[in-house]
């Protein structure tokens, strides 16, 4: 079953949820801030990501300055998966996992190709 990794406080994530609701797919909604993702799940999502893995992190989030990102290689799946498993609040959203691929909905229209 496809999974939308969702943050209800994010307008783009809410738009993605509406888009998913209008699709023919039965989507499972995962509130990743309430139920953080583990390294293996993140690694798998990054391996199947359509696009650049560096997009998975909210690098422009003001709060990211409060954590040490010096050891994060923005082009390395293992490095990003490890960082996000410890700091899931910096995962880009919305993120849709349809099984064979994952897509980050920035812009939300990116999700249309898999819905």
Q: What is the pLDDT of residues 45-102, one digit of tens each?
A: 999 999 999 999 999 999 999 999 999 999 999 999 999 999 999 999 999 999 999 9
At 115 the pLDDT is: 87
Q: By three-state DSSP, how is residue 96 classified?
A: strand
Instruction: Map out the domains of the chain with their CATH numbers.
Output: 3-114 (3.40.30.10)
Give the model's confidence band at 29: pLDDT under 50 very low, under 70 low, under 90 confident, else very high: very high
pLDDT at 84: 98
Q: Is the pLDDT of residue 113 over 90?
A: no
Could you tell me if 96 and 103 are in contact, meaning their C-beta atoms sit under 8 angstroms apart? Answer: yes
- Range of lowest pLDDT (34-38, 47-51, 74-78, 110-114): 110-114
* pTM of the shown model: 0.94
């Amino acid at each position: 079953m496809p999974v939308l990794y969702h943050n209800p406080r994010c307008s783009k994530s809410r738009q993605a949820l509406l888009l998913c609701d209008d699709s023919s797919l039965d989507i499972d909604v995962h509130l990743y801030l309430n139920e953080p993702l583990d390294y293996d799940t993140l690694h798998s999502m990054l391996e199947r990501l359509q696009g650049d893995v560096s997009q998975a992190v909210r690098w422009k989030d003001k709060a990211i300055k409060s954590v040490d990102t010096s050891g994060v290689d923005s082009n390395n799946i293992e490095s990003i998966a490890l960082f996000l498993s410890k700091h899931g609040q910096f995962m880009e959203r919305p993120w849709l996992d349809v099984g064979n691929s994952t897509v980050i909905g920035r812009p939300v229209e990116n999700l249309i190709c898999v819905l």
